[in-house]
């Protein structure tokens, strides 16, 4: 690796948390107010952290090689989005168990072949959690769905190439869906240079 090593580029250090105060609990996350000390200057800064349960994102692939996607109204953006099944890890639950549960609840599909596709941060700037990515191979419709009263989700299977086209065309904008798809198919366009 070609590190730019000079005096203006020192390696970042950990910041000391001087104090930490719980804020409002919004259920999907809890506010925490920290005061953190800059390790180089000693100056204190207020920082807001959202403590959140981990998430899971599941890329289900059918025996025909199609990916199972879900559509739902998302309250953050007030739009119907295209994503793969995803959800929260319950307290005490293993990420894989949450992935298996969310896939079945949202779509009725199950799989006997699960593979980890790694994990991502939620957003390391202000969220404490991670998102665990899984592929569910040979996924088949085997059960009735079990949607919460506050959910309204449809599902459809599309060829992996269509999913790729939807990332490139902007129909898929869900970051962890993109991160999971990227681990299974190339999402880059041919470049001229």
Member of 21, 92, 190, 193 binding a copy of itself (CB under 8 A)? 193
* All residues at 6 or more sequence positions from 105 whose CB lies less than 8 Å from its CB, including other chains: 87, 145, 146, 147
The reply to whether 170 sits near a copy of itself by the rule CB under 8 A is yes
Q: How many CA atoms lie within 13 A of 82 on its CB side?
A: 19
Nearer to a copy of itself, 94 or 121 (CB): 121
Member of 84, 85, 99, 174 binding a copy of itself (CB under 8 A)? 174
Q: Using CB under 8 A, which residues numbered 89 to 148 contact a copy of itself?
A: 118-128, 130-131, 137, 141, 144-145
* All residues at 6 or more sequence positions from 91 whose CB lies less than 8 Å from its CB, including other chains: 53
Residue entry with tokens 């001087």: 18
Closest approach of Cβ 24 to a copy of itself, in Å? 7
The reply to whether 149 sits near a copy of itself by the rule CB under 8 A is yes
Nearest CA-CA partner of 137 in 69, 70, 60, 84: 60
Contact flags string 24-63 toward a copy of itself, x per CB under 8 A: x-xxxx-x--x-x-xxxx-x-x-xxxx-------------
Q: Using CB under 8 A, which residues numbered 60 to 79 contact a copy of itself?
A: 64, 66, 71-79
Tell me how far CA of residue 49 lies from CA of 55, 67, 89, 137, 168, in angstroms: 17, 34, 19, 36, 32
């Amino acid at each position: 690796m070609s590190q730019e090593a000079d005096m203006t580029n020192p390696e970042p250090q950990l910041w000391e948390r001087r104090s930490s105060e719980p804020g409002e609990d919004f259920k999907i996350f809890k506010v925490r107010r920290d005061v953190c000390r800059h390790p180089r200057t000693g100056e204190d800064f207020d920082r807001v952290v959202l403590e959140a349960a981990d998430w899971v994102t599941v890329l289900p692939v059918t025996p025909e090689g199609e990916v199972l996607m879900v559509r739902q109204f998302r309250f953050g953006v007030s739009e119907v989005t295209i994503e793969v099944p995803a959800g929260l890890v319950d307290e005490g639950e293993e990420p894989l168990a949450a992935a298996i549960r969310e896939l079945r609840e949202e779509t009725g599909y199950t799989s006997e072949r699960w593979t980890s596709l790694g994990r991502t941060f939620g957003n390391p700037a202000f969220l404490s959690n991670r998102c665990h990515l899984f592929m569910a191979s040979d996924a088949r419709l085997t059960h009735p769905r079990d949607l919460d009263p506050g959910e309204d989700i449809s599902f459809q299977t599309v060829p992996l190439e269509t999913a790729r086209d939807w990332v490139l065309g902007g129909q898929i904008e869900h970051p962890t869906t993109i991160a999971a798809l990227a681990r299974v198919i190339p999402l880059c366009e041919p470049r001229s240079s």
